[in-house]
Structure 1
Amino acid sequence: MQSILRLIAISVSILFIVGCVSIIPLRNINDKVIEQNLIEEQVKEAIHSGIESAGWTIEKEEPGKILASYSVRVHTVAVNIRYTKSDYSINYAYSNNMKIHCSDKEKAKGVMITKWPEESCGGADPQLIHAAYEKWVGNLISEIDATFGLTDT
């Protein structure tokens, strides 16, 4: 009986550790330089191509800004892509079911937000998010950079 309780305790500890590891700081990408001499329309077309190649969807578009989203099963993330003829930025817009935390302090208390911006961090971006966010956004950046002939991210 004692060995069963020990096994359960170890299993719960492992699940807790794995769960904690899957939460990372949310990073935005600001002013990533486009080295080619392009006009803004060419930058927009290249970003469109990268979005499509990465499997993302354009939700909304206005001059110099694209809202793009990516969904896997019940998880959704969205980013604002702002661009000029010389650079682009990718910033968190919203997400669903991505284990968002407003701060390390709230994470320690177990406070987690599943929908954004319906539930918010006082108007600020969340500080922590599921690690899949970085993977998906990293893939988007790689695909966009590939359209510009860039290889480093």
Structure 2
Amino acid sequence: MKNILKVSSVLFLALFFLVGCRTAAIYNVNNDPIEVKASMDKVYNAIKFAGASKGWIITKVKPGLAMGKLNVRQHQAVVEIPYTEKSFSINYKSSLNLKYNAQTNQIHNNYNGWIQNLENAINLQLSMLEK
């Protein structure tokens, strides 16, 4: 009976560990349209403000290209955000401790949620610009 309890405990812990470590295909945002008329500076400022509201540090690399960095506990995600007056994208650049696999294009599932939250926040900020 003790052996059955030990084996059951080990199996339960293994299952619990594996469920917590799920990965998924990387979610990138490709040319999300900007519905309002906005200058490049206004688009960048909307991206920067939206990112800050979600814990991202957004910096301008050059006109039309921003970089975002998010640190969550011991995890880090870095993205490139190319933008124009008509659209923006969010593309994976690098990460730490997120189980990124270049061959399968897989990453820790939380990453995709962070990118979707950033995308939604950017769209909200852009929608508040004058039409």
What's the TM-score once normalised by structure 2's chain length?
0.86
* Structure 2 partner of 1:38: 38
Partners of 2:80 and 2:11 in 1: how far apart?
Answer: 42
Q: How does 1:101-112 map to 2 (within 5 A)?
A: 101-104=101-104
C-alpha distance 60-36 of structure 1, shift in aligned 2 (>3 A): closer
Identify unmatched segments of 5+ residues in structure 1: 105-126
Distance 1:102 1:15, change over 3 A: farther
Deviations 1:73-128 (A, max 9, x none): 11000100000000000000111011112335xxxxxxxxxxxxxxxxxxxxxx00
Structure 2 residue runs of 5 or longer lacking an equivalent are none
After superposition, give the CA deviation of every residue in 1:39-94 in whole Å (9 maximum; x if it has no partner).
22211111111111111102452110011100011100010000000000000011
Q: TM-score, with normalisation over the residues of structure 1?
A: 0.75
1:132 Cα shift? 1.1
Greater length-normalized contact order (CA 8 Å, ≥ 6 residues apart):
2
User: How far is the alpha carbon of 1:139 from its aligned partner?
Assistant: 1.4
Aligned counterparts of 1:24 and 1:58: Cα–Cα separation in 2: 25
- 1:57 and 2:57 matched: yes
Count of residue pairs the alignment pairs up = 127
Q: Partner residue of 1:86?
A: 86
Find the residue that maps to 1:47 and give its secondary structure. helix
1:132 corresponds to = 110
For residue 118 of structure 1, what is the aligned residue in structure 2? none
Runs of 4+, deviation exceeding 6 Å: none
Contact 2:29 2:119 in 1 (8 A): no
